[in-house]
Chain A
Amino acid sequence: MTSDERRTSAPEAPYEIPAHPSADDPRVVLDRELGVFEPVPPYPPRTEREAEFYTLRDGEMLLNMGPQHPSTHGVLRVVLKIRGEQVVDLDPVLGYLHRGVEKLCENADYHQTIAYLDPLEYVSSLFCEWPAVMAFEKLLDVRVPRRAEYIRVLTGELLRVASHALFMGWMALDLGGLTPILWSFIERDEIVEMLASITGQRMLFNYYRIGGVNGDLNHEFMSRLGDWMSRATAQHEANTKLLNENEIFVRRMRGLGVMDRETALRMCWTGPNLRATGVPFDLRRTHPYSVYPELEFDIPTRSEGDCLARYLIRLDEVKQSLRIIDQCLHEMPDGPIMAKLPRLLRPRPGRAFAAVEGPRGEYGIYAISDGTDQPFRLRIHDPSFIHLQSVGLLMPGNLIADTMAVMASLDPIMGGVDK
């Protein structure tokens, strides 16, 4: 790569790297020129926790699991403090995907914010739009037609199944298994093609609107859905059997990363991770929204709190989601799919908070309106962000290879973590 293909304006190095004993060592030259890397460990430590973490005792070393690593959660940098193969402490460094969504939403109309919120948790993007439209509907005092609510629940639960299928694939991939990820993607591709026939997009759907949804169900969707539903239960059984009877998988995950109830509540966990520790907290039942009060489904809860429990609980949730999809199809009412709203929305000044139960936990949106057509503040609460804090609690004493297992079992998506 020739020098004219580099950036012409390299930022100044934020720190002065003193010359290495051999002054023309190219590593030092590159670092000084690029100047975009913070030294590990940071000198001097800025907080108590940093001083505690970056002080190495006898036998310890720091290992950087950099922003590019084969685990497929995205760009996360984890600084591991290890003693031999055992991890003593862990410091996740975020921000490699911070796109400034909250600031961009302050400059956009209410309708345009929905498109910004999609790529947060890109795997389950309908659940990122849902609390936003609920919060805006609270600000505007809009009632959503029942058919639109049923369509929202139907598409949401379909996406939950797809997201949990991907979780299973990544869980196995991080432990070294290459087949389940292929099975997951087959499952996900089918569901996502279904959703593409009504929303037009395979991934960042931009489907929910303030007051309803964008497009009604059509023949192609119903025929694909019918096909898929006839095979779904059997396929789910096959996926479950693939891994649950694998001794290596089960023995690696059992007893790993155990979290108890009290600590989970103190760490603000929600979603399947919290239910795996024994707290039956599911927003669909504890704080019902949409048409969930009319639907029959159970909340699977386990009490072991280890990686295996977090894995099994998501498989149980897929079964419950299939039940919900079935009921939605049978009870789908007729009617409009959008409430009547003016083109330019100016809600009354006020605040609204709405939260939904997504496949990773509680997705919340806190919207402040000041009477103009742009939201004054849109605060996004993301469950992956919260869960990633606790990796440092769950890791000590385990091996480096278990880091990936623990992180995969918490199911983080870096788009949501970094916003």
Chain B
Amino acid sequence: MALTPERGSAGGATGGSSGGATGLRDGASGSGALVPSGGPGAVAEPLVVPNTLWRAADPAAYRGGPGGLEHAHLAEVERSGIAHRDDARWGALEVIPTKADLVLDLLRANSLWPLLSGLACCAIEMMSSATSKNDIDRWGMFPFRASPRQADVLIVAGTLTTKMAGPLLRLWEQMPEPKWCVAMGDCTCSGGRYKRSYSTIQGIDRIMPVDVYVPGCPPRPEGLIYGMMKLQQLILERRGRWTERRVGPSVPAGI
């Protein structure tokens, strides 16, 4: 899908504006409008500007390794199965029983980093448990990460609606293992006072696996702290559903 240079708006001249991301897409017309000509649901073809400006010094660079881009590193990790065992033994230590597993669990339990996923009223109580009076920084849980890639535990605080279910599921899938889910508040445990509503999910365990339920409307910060301590116990004793889930990044098959 090379762009002919006569359009003059993309290509080498405007290398600073990140190649073809000027937003000018064309179906059949060059009007500059974003609406493609394929009817409802049609997606415009992406603008791919070929790299004619320079060449890398090393021909193997930017190719993704000896096999090129067809063999991504992630696929190799998945295939080797190293991510399927959740223990702390590597290399020569594999045959030696070790207490490193306990250390691994202690590390995980004592620095659970929650994802900022406050949806509604329970989010205020979650924030209240994170601030000075009820300080969960004592247990290492202060850094509320904004990105799911860096978070351990998803505390779903607030009512989940059908419109939000998709994004929340996407967030859950983006979190790398090991990950845990805490359902905070009545709305996430069972639907709560919105059990009869047409637009809420009656309990998040309908769409994602939950490890700890913290009931209340909203639960007091002490209640959430109790729930998090239960989660720590779960981790230390290797109890619960998370041990059966595959450890490692959630990689779809075929990658």
Do A and B touch, yes or no (CB under 8 Å, in the complex)?
yes
State the A residues within 8 Å of B (CB): 1-2, 5, 7, 15-18, 24, 26, 29-30, 34, 36-37, 39, 41, 43-45, 51, 54-61, 66-70, 72, 74-75, 95-100, 103-104, 107, 115-116, 119, 122-123, 166, 181-182, 185-186, 188-189, 202-204, 414-415, 418
> Which residues of chain A are near B169, meaning CB under 8 Å?
7, 34, 36
Q: What separation, in Å, do the CA atoms of A67 and B119 have in the docked complex? A: 9
Is the C-beta of B79 less than 8 angstroms from some C-beta in chain A? no
**Given A26-B254, A203-B125, also A100-B197 (CB < 8 A):** yes
Q: What separation, in Å, do the CA atoms of A321 and B245 have in the docked complex? A: 53
Residue of A nearest to B42 (CB): A43
**Given A7-B206, A96-B163, A204-B218, also A72-B125 (CB < 8 A):** no
Is the C-beta of B173 less than 8 angstroms from some C-beta in chain A? yes
Max chain B C-beta neighbours (<10 A), residue from A29, A99, A103: A99
> Which residues of chain B are near A204, meaning CB under 8 Å?
121, 217-218
For the complex formed, measure the closest distance between the CB of B169 and the CB atoms of chain A, giving whole angstroms. 7
B167 touches A24 (CB 8 A): no
Q: What separation, in Å, do the CA atoms of A108 and B128 have in the docked complex? A: 31
For the complex formed, measure the closest distance between the CB of B116 and the CB atoms of chain A, giving whole angstroms. 6
A68 touches B117 (CB 8 A): yes
State the B residues within 8 Å of A (CB): 9, 17, 21-24, 32-36, 38, 40-43, 116-121, 123-125, 127-128, 131-133, 146, 158-159, 161, 163-173, 193-194, 196-200, 206-209, 217-218, 220, 245-246, 250, 252, 254-255
Q: What separation, in Å, do the CA atoms of A34 and B170 have in the docked complex? A: 9
> Which residues of chain B are near A24, meaning CB under 8 Å?
254
List 5 tightest A-B contacts by C-beta distance, closest first: A36-B166, A56-B23, A122-B121, A185-B131, A15-B41
Known: A104-B196, A186-B132, A204-B217. 17 other contacts (CB 8 A): A2-B245, A17-B41, A30-B173, A43-B35, A45-B35, A55-B32, A56-B23, A57-B32, A59-B23, A60-B23, A68-B171, A72-B127, A74-B119, A99-B200, A119-B121, A188-B128, A189-B133
Where chain A touches its partner, the secondary structure class is loop
A-B contact pairs, 27 of them (CB 8 A): A1-B209, A1-B245, A2-B246, A16-B41, A18-B41, A43-B43, A44-B40, A55-B32, A55-B34, A56-B32, A56-B34, A58-B32, A59-B17, A68-B116, A68-B117, A69-B146, A72-B123, A96-B119, A96-B161, A96-B163, A97-B120, A99-B161, A99-B199, A166-B124, A185-B131, A186-B133, A189-B128
> Which residues of chain A are near B34, meaning CB under 8 Å?
41, 54-56
Q: What separation, in Å, do the CA atoms of A107 and B193 have in the docked complex? A: 13
B167 touches A66 (CB 8 A): yes
Q: What separation, in Å, do the CA atoms of A96 and B200 have in the docked complex? A: 10
Q: What separation, in Å, do the CA atoms of A72 and B127 have in the docked complex? A: 9
Q: What separation, in Å, do the CA atoms of A59 and B132 have in the docked complex? A: 45
**Given A69-B146, A186-B133, also A99-B194 (CB < 8 A):** yes
For the complex formed, measure the closest distance between the CB of B202 and the CB atoms of chain A, giving whole angstroms. 11
Q: Which of A1, A69, A202 contacts B220 (CB 8 A)?
A: A202
> Which residues of chain B are near A66, meaning CB under 8 Å?
167
B194 touches A104 (CB 8 A): yes
Q: What separation, in Å, do the CA atoms of A308 and B36 have in the docked complex? A: 43
**Given A43-B40, A57-B32, also A1-B246 (CB < 8 A):** yes
